[in-house]
Chains A and B, each alone.
Chain A
Amino acid sequence: MQSLWISRTGKIQPASFRAVRLVFFLLMLLSCGLWIGSNPLFAQANFYQDVFVQSRNRMVKIYGAGGFQGLEAYQTGCLISGEGHVLTVWSYVLDTNYITVVLDDGRRYEEAELVGADPRREIAILKIKGENFPHFDLSQSAQANVGSRVVAMSNLYGVATGNEPVSVQHGVVAAKAPLNARRGVFETPLQGDVYVLDAMTNNPGAAGGIVLNREGKLLGMLGKELRSTLNNTWLNYAIPFDSDFQETVELIKQGQYVPASIDPEAELPPYPLTLTSLGIELVPDVVQRTPPFIDFVYEGSSAAEAGLEPGDLIIFLDGQLIQSCKILQETIRRIDSTEDVSLTITRGNELLEFELSGSLLNTIGP
């Protein structure tokens, strides 16, 4: 239709009206833009019901640690494989051996296995025993543009229990932008773009929920509650299922980011390694699972030599997932002081690896 009209106008060339025509042409273009901008389908069509019906049996409720001081002991997840892999947010809720997963039909799986987690993207994968679970296919994820209508599904406030379906909310992608990850504004190690939503989606318990588009295609995962320390507003956002995300999920499923496990029976080395001897001081360990951010690096230490800096977040030690300051301390205690260690940290958008030599340890330290 468009091209037809334009070709017709092309036949007429009254030179004296060229300027006028130009104006009209621009007006036409403008009208055309308006037409494209206003999708006539959006107004009354209700895809929320369809998306809910298609997706509800892939959503799970997760119960774990917490339950005190405003830390809810529950969050949300979704099944991403027929073998029972559950995608959720990496959080304190998973910091227990007793993670319970409840399916949409009320089936209850106690002691779900934590397969692994990547704290950089706050991704955790759980596994429940069984097969032929209804599940999402992450590789079929879509991308959303700013202004797209989205559906969020989560067990916010723990409203649903047993076989009750999770809650559904509607909203619009308000922005796709990097989170301001500076410590002190939003307490998150999350890097890269997130979908910022105009709906009140990121409530207690909603983390690990999902955001879908109108066709029911996956867009992203609802992140943990984030409150700006600058203006006290809560942020509603989702972490996009982009190729990096999917790759990370695959790596975790393949066993790349296994959580560090502490064997309480194991014999401790007589001269154990310490963080201080490496030249690292962590942020104060104030909550159940304080992210192991480096607060201070001693001059001339092994850490300083390697190039570690205050603000770095330690996520892996010798390939093991480090869940908290506490776990890091405990893992270090089980390493002999003469050994070298490898640390993986995030700094800004970068993921960096460092080899720290224990041999320098005599030269520094209090």
Chain B
Amino acid sequence: MKRFAGWIVVLTVWLSWNLSTQAAAPEVLEAEAARVAVIQKAMPAVVAIFGGAGDGGGSGVLISPDGYALSNYHVTKPAGNAMKCGLPDGKLYDAVIVGIDPTGDVALVKLLGRDDFPYAEIADSDHVRVGDWTFAMGNPFLLATDFTPTVTYGIVSGIHRYQYPAGTLLEYADCIQVDASINPGNSGGPLFNAEGQLIGINGRGSFEKRGRVNVGVGYAITINQIQNFLGHLKSGRVVDHATLGARVGTSPDGQVIVTDILQSADAYRRGLRYGDEIVRFADRPIRTVNQMKNALGIFPKGWRIPLVYRRDGKRHRIFIRLEGVHRSGELQELLAGPRRPMMPQPKPDEEDEAPDPEMPAGHESSPMPEIAKAHYESKAGYANYYFNRLQQETVWQNFLQYGDFQNLRGNWNMTGSTDQGQPVVFDLETEQAIAMLPTGNANIPITVDLSAELRPLGSGGLLPALVIWKHLLTHGITEFGPLYYLGTAPLPEDDVRYHVLIGTYSRVEAHFYFHPETGQLVKLETFPEDDTDPCEVFFSDYAEVEGRSVPHRWEVYHADQRFGTYTFTDFHLEAQADYE
């Protein structure tokens, strides 16, 4: 027994020792396990993208269970309109292109065949800080034949980086710089934070003379920028970036000043002039031209963004409707240029400075799979018109829940009062539209050209706007000239991202803003001509009138001025007029 006592003591000592070492080690093991868990959590959403014939490729990441996935434009471009996407579960899915942002190098694709895809959790990339742990996932050098992504770990080396355009199109503004290895094939793949949330899409590196492999400098497009564009990308369109319509430069005393401005630009109409100092843009302080480019580069064309400028020591805050970087049609021309993928499949037997081998062109001749065909519709100016039509219908169906006005094509008579209690009457008849306001009466004939009938004076065309509003309600979205789904956009002092339909009727372009949750029409803007201020009508206080929801309050603005606010008490919406 005594002999065994010795054994036991020694064993106890040894075990205790080991336990004590285990007691220290668990922190490491826990951290390691946490990291493994984070990677396991993030991994299922990572996509390996291949051309239609299963060749070439890059990476991507799923962002919703219905199969929407983000990638780089330069990855999807060579693949064409249909591609194959491999997921870490080892399965290969057909996918179609949805929308593209060639300037920002972003593409949205949709994986088909499931409505329960794994998808990445999205973070607010404005919270990314220099020094944060981060990891990239993707398919560098197309290593994974079973679609299991490669993980590379690193830290955030810089934020708000501006990378000058490569060639004619690509511009990486406000991007995240990382030292995690980013190699050819990582393009389009996700960059995650330490919690495994998506913060960006990897797309570019600084390579220069070092050859086309990682040099410790990779750039990712922020997920916040992509979120700004996401609604537009879902429209199936070719999406454009924005400019101010003005040039800025740095003055000798280090201020960012307007050095040139287009008189046709909205910025000019809002009051911005040559020599004004830009102080803030999109609520970011602006002290350098790069900061301005970064702040501007994350927004799509057409959004209204606050800008603060200083003139004679006085600050002015204005909302600017951003111009497009490209003229209409210009993007399409550029896209039709020579096809040249940026992240090609490297050939193992070549030197590191090998010329870019093109993604083999076989995919074009390979027939589009049936499931992809069912989700693809070709139309000029669109990456995939199928999705635009889908969005138009979705928005319209959501709106229809508030009532069907189809049979109310007769005279509409609406009575109410201004905020000051003065009576107002609007008559929308079949031949003419009439407004009886405290400032006087106005009427316009209803013709095929409403663009010259901008009455009442000072409203920017309230009566044409109301005619178009009635037309939308009574005739639906199909009876417009061209009508399309723009995407999503905020309104001044309102961060809600509204669905926007744009239609032309009787030569007036109308922008309809629908609330993303309620589906209700909240705003109408009508533009009688390009480069003019619209008439803006906000609809609110929706209430039922004979089973249909009707806005009882209208606020009308034109050129930054409030034209009037009306509250209605009586609506007479008549059915088809006798003589029609």
Contacts and interface: CB of A to CB of B under 8 A. Distances in A.
Interface of A: 1, 5, 8-9, 12, 14, 16-17, 20-21, 24, 27-28, 31-32, 34-35, 38-44, 46-53, 70, 106, 156-157, 159-170, 199-201, 203-204, 234
A184 B16 CA distance: 57
Contacts of A20: 7, 10
Contacts of A28: 13-14, 17
Contacts of B13: 5, 8-9, 24, 28
Contacts of A157: 206, 208, 217
A125 B161 CA distance: 29
B27 interface: yes
B177 interface: yes
Interface in B135-157: 154-157
Interface string B10-34: 1101101110110011111011101
B129 A49 contact: yes
Given A5-B13, A160-B161, 10 more contacts: A8-B13, A14-B2, A35-B25, A43-B27, A43-B28, A48-B132, A70-B209, A164-B160, A167-B158, A200-B216
Contacts, number: 148
A159 B156 CA distance: 14
B179 A32 contact: no
A363 B512 CA distance: 97
Interface string B309-346: 00000000000000000000000000000000000000
B290 A169 contact: no
Nearest to A44: B31
B167 interface: no
Contacts of A46: 131-133, 194
B217 A52 contact: no
Nearest to B294: A164
A152 to B, nearest CB: 9
B212 interface: no
Contacts of B161: 159-160, 164
Contact of B17 (A17, A32, A38, A43): A32
A47 B130 CA distance: 11
A47 B129 CA distance: 12
A114 B157 CA distance: 30
B16 A5 contact: yes
A166 B159 CA distance: 10
A167 B10 contact: no
Contacts of B132: 46, 48-49
3 nearest A-B pairs in the assembled complex, by CB-CB distance: A200-B216, A43-B31, A48-B131
A204 B157 CA distance: 16
Nearest to B206: A157
Given A34-B21, A46-B133, A106 B254 contact: yes
Contacts of A39: 28
Contacts of B21: 31-32, 34-35
Given A5-B13, A165-B158, A204 B208 contact: yes
Interface of B: 2-3, 6-7, 9-11, 13-14, 16-18, 20-21, 24-28, 30-32, 34-35, 129-133, 154-158, 160-161, 177, 179, 194, 206, 208-210, 214-217, 254, 287-288, 290
B290 A161 contact: yes
Given A34-B21, A35-B25, A40-B25, A234 B210 contact: yes
A255 B20 CA distance: 57
Given A70-B209, A161-B290, A1 B31 contact: no
A199 B179 contact: yes
Given A28-B17, A162-B290, A169 B157 contact: yes
Nearest to A40: B27
A199 B10 CA distance: 45
B216 A12 contact: no
A17 B6 CA distance: 8
Contacts of B129: 49
B130 A165 contact: yes
B34 A200 contact: no
Contacts of B30: 43
Among A39, A51, A162, residue most surrounded by chain B Cβ atoms (within 10 Å): A162
B214 A21 contact: no
B6 A14 contact: yes
Contact of A31 (B18, B26, B206): B18
Binding site secondary structure of chain B: helix
A198 B144 CA distance: 25
A63 B24 CA distance: 49
Contacts of B206: 156-157, 159, 203
A40 B28 contact: yes
Given A170-B155, A204-B208, A162 B288 contact: yes
Contact of B290 (A164, A167, A168): A164
A168 B130 contact: yes
Contacts of A204: 208-209
B204 to A, nearest CB: 12
Contacts of B214: 200
Contacts of B10: 9, 12, 17, 20-21, 24
A195 to B, nearest CB: 16
A201 B214 CA distance: 12
A168 B31 CA distance: 23
A160 B160 CA distance: 10
Contact of A203 (B3, B31, B32, B210): B210
Contacts of B290: 161-162, 164
B350 to A, nearest CB: 15
B3 A35 contact: no
Given A5-B17, A12-B6, A20-B10, A200 B24 contact: no
B287 A156 contact: no
Contacts of B131: 46-53, 168
A34 to B, nearest CB: 6
Contacts of B177: 159, 167
Among A32, A41, A46, A201, residue most surrounded by chain B Cβ atoms (within 10 Å): A46
Contacts of A159: 158, 161, 177, 206, 217
Given A24-B13, A28-B13, A169 B155 contact: yes
A157 B209 CA distance: 11
Contacts of B209: 70, 204
B157 A27 contact: no
Contacts of A50: 131
Nearest to B32: A43
Given A12-B9, A24-B14, A159-B206, A1 B20 contact: yes
15 contacts: A14-B7, A28-B13, A31-B21, A40-B24, A49-B132, A52-B130, A157-B206, A160-B158, A161-B288, A164-B160, A167-B157, A170-B155, A200-B216, A203-B210, A204-B208
Nearest to A31: B21
A49 B9 CA distance: 48
Among B9, B16, B130, B206, residue most surrounded by chain A Cβ atoms (within 10 Å): B130
B14 to A, nearest CB: 5
A86 B40 CA distance: 46
Nearest to B19: A31
Nearest to A50: B131
Contacts of A9: 9-10, 13
A199 B216 contact: yes
Nearest to A6: B13
Given A9-B13, A168-B158, A169-B157, A156 B216 contact: yes
A203 B215 contact: yes
A24 B31 CA distance: 30
A165 B130 CA distance: 10
Contacts of B179: 167-170, 199-200
Nearest to A206: B216
Contacts of A34: 21, 25
B536 to A, nearest CB: 38
A203 B206 CA distance: 10
A150 to B, nearest CB: 12
A21 B7 CA distance: 9
B24 A164 contact: no
A48 B155 contact: yes
